[in-house]
Amino acid sequence: MSIAWTSRYALRTKGIKSSTIRELLKLTQNPEVISFAGGLPASDLFPIERFEEACQTVLERDAVSALQYGETEGYKPLRDMIARHTSRYGIQARTENVLVTSGSQQALDLIGKLLINPGDRILVEAPTYLGALQAFTAYGAEYVSIPCDGNGMRIDLLEATLRCGPKFMYVLPNFQNPGGTTLSADRRRALVLIADKYGIPIIEDDPYGQLRYEGEHLPPLVVLDRQNQTRSSTYTLGNVIYLSSFSKTLAPGLRLGWIVAPPEVIAKLVQLKQGTDLHTSTFAQVVAYEVARGNFLDEHIKQLRIAYRERRDVMLEALAQFFPSEVSWTRPEGGLFLWVTLPNSLDANELFQEALKQNVAFVPGDSFFAPNGQTQEGRRHLRLNFSNARPEQIREGIRRLSVAVKGVK
Amino acid sequence: MSIAWTSRYALRTKGIKSSTIRELLKLTQNPEVISFAGGLPASDLFPIERFEEACQTVLERDAVSALQYGETEGYKPLRDMIARHTSRYGIQARTENVLVTSGSQQALDLIGKLLINPGDRILVEAPTYLGALQAFTAYGAEYVSIPCDGNGMRIDLLEATLRCGPKFMYVLPNFQNPGGTTLSADRRRALVLIADKYGIPIIEDDPYGQLRYEGEHLPPLVVLDRQNQTRSSTYTLGNVIYLSSFSKTLAPGLRLGWIVAPPEVIAKLVQLKQGTDLHTSTFAQVVAYEVARGNFLDEHIKQLRIAYRERRDVMLEALAQFFPSEVSWTRPEGGLFLWVTLPNSLDANELFQEALKQNVAFVPGDSFFAPNGQTQEGRRHLRLNFSNARPEQIREGIRRLSVAVKGVK
C-alpha cells in the first residue's frame, strides 16, 4: 500500500498558499521582462571585492569558526556589532539582547512559533508584508487589520480594534512593504503608549530603516518604548521585539537577520531555534562580520542611498510623465517600494496579465492583505519595486506599464 | 504596563528544554577538557584551501547567484548534484525530488510542521537522535519508542507497536546517533515491507551513511522501498522521505542538508519553507557546490574515512585497555559515535560530574530517549564522539574517563 501522500495525509499547509510573489518571480525571469515585482536589492551594487577579501581573511585566519558548528545565539562578534549598532539609537542593547536569525523571515517564524496558538488574533496593517502573513498563518493565526494612510497605521482606530484582544501587533514603521509609507513621529509615540497601556507587544519589523533618501530619521518604536521603561538602564524590560536584516544593506543571499528583545524572550527563542535549524550558517555570519566591520557597512549604505534615491526619483518622474491622471501613488522617503492606486474601474490582476504582454511586471496588491483585510481593496493597487532595475530600465518599464494601463482601461 | 513576558505569555516552548548537549558543549569549552560530548567533525580535516579557491571562483564568476535571493527549492546545480549522487544507489531521484534545507535539522523541523498535529504519535528508536525529538516536540508530538539491539531497531516488536497508529516512523539506519548501531539488511527489507503494508511513512535520517569504515554498504530504506514501487520508473511514489547533510562530510558551518521525497511532498515542504526562511543561504549553497563538484567531495570523504577509522580504533583500544570489564560498548562500523553501557550500579549523570573534574566530557544517555522511552535506561549509557579529538587526545581522554569510572564506583 504505497502512500498517496496528499489524500492520506491532507498535508497540512493550512491556509498557506505558495507565495504569489515567489511564483510571479518565476514568470518574470524572462530577460525581456522588466520586473518591478520582486523585492530584490540591486545586484550591480553588491560589494563583491569586499566579499572576496573577507572570504580570504576568514579562511586564512578563522576557518574553524566559519566552518564548524556554532552557538545557536549567533557568532558573538556579529551579535556584539549588532548590539553596538542598535544602541546608537539609544536602546542600550547588549549582546544578550541579540539573536542572529536565518534572514528576518526566520525571525517571523520563530516569533510565530513562540507566541501564536491556533486561533490567536494578530493585529496587522492593511496592507502588510505578505511574508509575515505566511509565517504567522502556519501557526494558526487569525488577523485583524487596521488601515494605513499616508502617515502609516491609523492610530485613531487602534484602541477600538484592540477590543478583539490581539496577541501582538505587527508593524513596519519605516517605508512600509508594500505601502512605502512611514509611521509619523506622533503616531509612533501614541502607538507605544497604547501598547504599554494594554500590555500588547509590538513586533517592529525594520528591514529598510537605514535606507532613507530624504527627511529625518524617526526613532524606532523599540527606542520610544525603552524611554518609557525607566526602571532599568539595561534592556531587560520592554514591550517591543525589534527585527532587522542584512538582506537589503549587504546581500540577501547570506540569509542573515536579527532579533533584539529582552533576554528572557531571546532565551526562549534560542530554545526554539535549536530545534529549527541548530544555528544560522556560521560561514555566512563570519563572512558578513568581516565584510561589515570597521566602517564599511555604513559607507556602503551611503552609496546605496544615493543609488536608490535616483531610482526612486526616476520612477516617480516616469509615473508623472506617462500615467493617466486618475492613477495615484505614494512618494516613499526610503525603502524599496511604492504603492500605486488605480481608479475603481481598473483591476490590478487584469492589469498584471496585460503588463506581462508588454514585458513588464509588478505584484498585484491583494497579496498584501490578511484574509479578512480588504482583499477587494487590494485589487486596486500595485506594488512597484524601484531598487532592482537600472534607471533607464525603470523609465522604459513605467512607459510599458502605462501602455498596459491604457490597454485595460 | 510593561510586559512581564514569561508570566503574561507563558512563552510556549512546550516540552522543549534547551538541548542538554548544547548546554554541555558550553561547559566543555575549557581547553583543558578533552570533549567526547559534541557531534563535531574534525576541524583539522576541513578542506580550507578548496574553500578558498571556491569562494574566489564563485565571487569572480557568479557573485550575483551567490549574493542575491534564490529559489526556495535550492540552488539548481546543487540540487542536480544531490539528485545524481542519490541516484547512484538506484532510486532515480531527479532535481524535483530534492529540497535543500538549512541543515538536516531544518528538514526535521519542516517534516514536523507538515505532518505532526498536536498529540500525534511518532515511532522512534530507543535511543534516538535528540535533535529530532526537539524538532517534533515543538509541534506537539508524542512518542512511542522501540528498542534497539546490536542490529538496530527490533523489527520483531514493530507490528505490535504499530497498533498505536503512529503518524510516521523516524529511523537512523546507519551508525545511529547515539547508538552507533546499523540496521541489518534483513531488518531493512522487513521494515519497508511493514511500512508498505500499514501505509506508515518512514523518515530515514542518514547523515553518516558515507562514513563507513568497514563492512559493506547497505541499501538505504528509500532504495529498498523504491524497488517495491514498480508502477513508475521516476520517483513519484514511495513511503520514505530521505534526509542527509553536508555537515559531516564537508562542513557543518554551512548549514546545508537536503530532503529527497516524492514531488508532491517536496511541493508542500517548499510552501512551508517559504514562510520559514524564504530559502537557504545561496552564498553557502553556491560555495558548497563549487567545493564539492568534480570528484572533490568523494575524494575528501575517502580521507575522512581513513582518519575517522583510526580515531575509532584508538578509542576502542583505549576502552579495552583502561575500562573495567563490567563496562561494555558498541563497535560502530562507521559514523561518529559509540555507546557505552555501564553496570547497573553506576549512573551516567554522576559519572559526568566526576568526569568534568578529570577534564573529560561526554553526553549522558538519558537525553537520547523520548519522554516515555526508558529514560531510566538512559542513565546507564554514555555517548562518546570519536571524530573531533585527535588520536593522542582520544587515548588520554579515555584514560581520564576510566579514572572517573573508578572514582564513582
Tens-digit pLDDT profile for residues B163-203: 889 999 999 999 999 999 999 999 999 999 999 999 999 99
Q: Which grid coordinates are listed for B393? A: 587526545
Q: Which residues of A touch B290 (CB under 8 A)?
A: none
Decide if A43 and B60 are in contact by the 8 Å CB cutoff. no
CATH number at residue A224: 3.40.640.10
CATH number at residue A39: 3.90.1150.10
Q: Which residues of A touch B9 (CB under 8 A)?
A: 115
- Domain co-membership, B274 together with B314: no
**Each residue of A330-375: pLDDT tens digit?**
999 999 999 999 999 999 999 999 999 999 999 999 989 998 756 6
Mean pLDDT check: name the lowest of A201-215, A232-246, B352-366.
A232-246
Exposure class string for B60-77: b at 16+ Cβ within 10 A, else e: eeebebbbbbbbbbbbbb
Q: Which residues of A touch B6 (CB under 8 A)?
A: 264, 268
**Each residue of A42-92: pLDDT tens digit?**
999 999 999 999 999 999 999 999 999 999 999 999 999 999 988 877 778
In a domain, A347, yes or no: yes
- Domain co-membership, A307 together with A199: no
* CA-based nearest distance A327→chain B, Å: 31
Higher per-residue confidence, A374 vs B137: B137
In a domain, B37, yes or no: yes
Angle between helices B282-292 and B76-87 (to 10 degrees): 50
Q: What 3 state SS string does chain B have?
A: CCCCHHHHHCCCCCCCCCCHHHHHHHHCCCCCCEECCCCCCCHHHCCHHHHHHHHHHHHHHCHHHHHCCCCCCCCHHHHHHHHHHHHCCCCCCCHHHEEEECHHHHHHHHHHHHHCCCCCEEEEEECCCHHHHHHHHCCCCEEEEEEEECCEECHHHHHHHHHHCCCEEEECCCCCCCCCCCCCHHHHHHHHHHHHHHCCCEEEECCCCCCECCCCCCCCHHHHHHHHCCCCCCCCCCCEEEEEECCCCCCHHHCCEEEECCHHHHHHHHHHHHHHHCCCCHHHHHHHHHHHCCCHHHHHHHHHHHHHHHHHHHHHHHHHHHCCCCCEECCCCECCEEEEECCCCCCHHHHHHHHHHCCEECEEHHHHCCCCCCHHHHCCEEEEECCCCCHHHHHHHHHHHHHHHHHHC
The residue of chain B nearest to residue A6, with distances taken between CA atoms, is B264
3-state secondary structure of A371: coil
Check residue B71 and give its pLDDT. Answer: 93
Decide if A48 and B38 are in contact by the 8 Å CB cutoff. no
Check residue B377 and give its pLDDT. Answer: 82
Please report which confidence band the pLDDT of residue B13 belongs to, taking 50, 70 and 90 as the band edges.
low
Decide if A67 and B251 are in contact by the 8 Å CB cutoff. yes
Q: For residue B276, give the nearest of A109, A280, A283 by CB distance.
A: A109
Distances B335 to A127, A233, B7, B247, B255 between C-alpha atoms, Å? 51, 49, 43, 12, 19
Q: For residue B59, give the nearest of A3, A52, A63 by CB distance.
A: A52
Decide if A5 and B262 are in contact by the 8 Å CB cutoff. yes
3-state secondary structure of A99: strand
**Full domain range(s) for residue B80:** 68-294
Check residue A17 and give its pLDDT. Answer: 57
Last residue of a domain, one of B269, B294, B319: B294
- Domain co-membership, A16 together with A84: no
Check residue B316 and give its pLDDT. Answer: 98
Decide if A52 and B56 are in contact by the 8 Å CB cutoff. yes
Distances A192 to A147, A185, A258 between C-alpha atoms, Å? 18, 11, 21
In a domain, B61, yes or no: no
- Domain co-membership, B312 together with B347: yes
In a domain, A53, yes or no: no
Q: For residue B5, give the nearest of A56, A255, A262 by CB distance.
A: A262
pLDDT greater than 70 at residue A297: yes
CA distance B23 to B352: 13
**A10 shares contact with chain B (CB less than 8 Å):** no
- Domain co-membership, A232 together with A338: no
Mean pLDDT check: name the lowest of A165-174, A223-232, B254-263, B280-289.
A223-232
- Domain co-membership, B218 together with B248: yes
Mean pLDDT check: name the lowest of A42-46, A97-101, A225-229.
A225-229
pLDDT greater than 80 at residue A200: yes
Last residue of a domain, one of B257, B274, B294: B294
In a domain, B1, yes or no: no
Angle between helices A391-408 and A348-357 (to 10 degrees): 120
CA distance B81 to B79: 5
- Domain co-membership, A76 together with A148: yes
Check residue B152 and give its pLDDT. Answer: 96
- Domain co-membership, B145 together with B14: no
Check residue A68 and give its pLDDT. Answer: 96
Decide if B278 and A12 are in contact by the 8 Å CB cutoff. no
Last residue of a domain, one of A250, A277, A294: A294
Higher per-residue confidence, B282 vs B7: B282
Q: Which residues of A touch B231 (CB under 8 A)?
A: 2
CA distance A294 to A194: 39
The 8-class DSSP code of residue A253 comes to G
In a domain, A61, yes or no: no
Check residue B337 and give its pLDDT. Answer: 98
- Domain co-membership, B288 together with B320: no
Q: Which grid coordinates are listed for B295? A: 570528484
Check residue B135 and give its pLDDT. Answer: 97
The residue of chain B nearest to residue A7, with distances taken between CA atoms, is B264
ipTM (interface predicted TM): 0.94
pLDDT greater than 60 at residue B391: yes
In a domain, A368, yes or no: yes
Mean pLDDT check: name the lowest of A137-146, A350-359, B19-28, B199-208.
B19-28
In a domain, B225, yes or no: yes
Q: Which residues pair with B243 in a beta bridge?
A: B205, B259
User: What single letter denotes the amino acid at residue B154?
Assistant: R
Q: For residue A239, give the nearest of B3, B43, B109 by CB distance.
A: B3
pLDDT greater than 80 at residue B8: no
Check residue B203 and give its pLDDT. Answer: 98
pLDDT greater than 80 at residue A232: no
Q: Which residues of B touch A17 (CB under 8 A)?
A: 271
- Domain co-membership, A105 together with A191: yes
Decide if A271 and B197 are in contact by the 8 Å CB cutoff. no
**B19 shares contact with chain A (CB less than 8 Å):** yes
- Domain co-membership, B310 together with B375: yes
Pick among A29, A44, A64, A67 to test the B interface (most B CBs inside 10 A): A67
* CA-based nearest distance B183→chain A, Å: 22
- Domain co-membership, B329 together with B286: no
User: For B47-62, what is the mean pLDDT?
Assistant: 97
**A69 shares contact with chain B (CB less than 8 Å):** yes
Look at chain B and report how many structural domains it folds into: 2
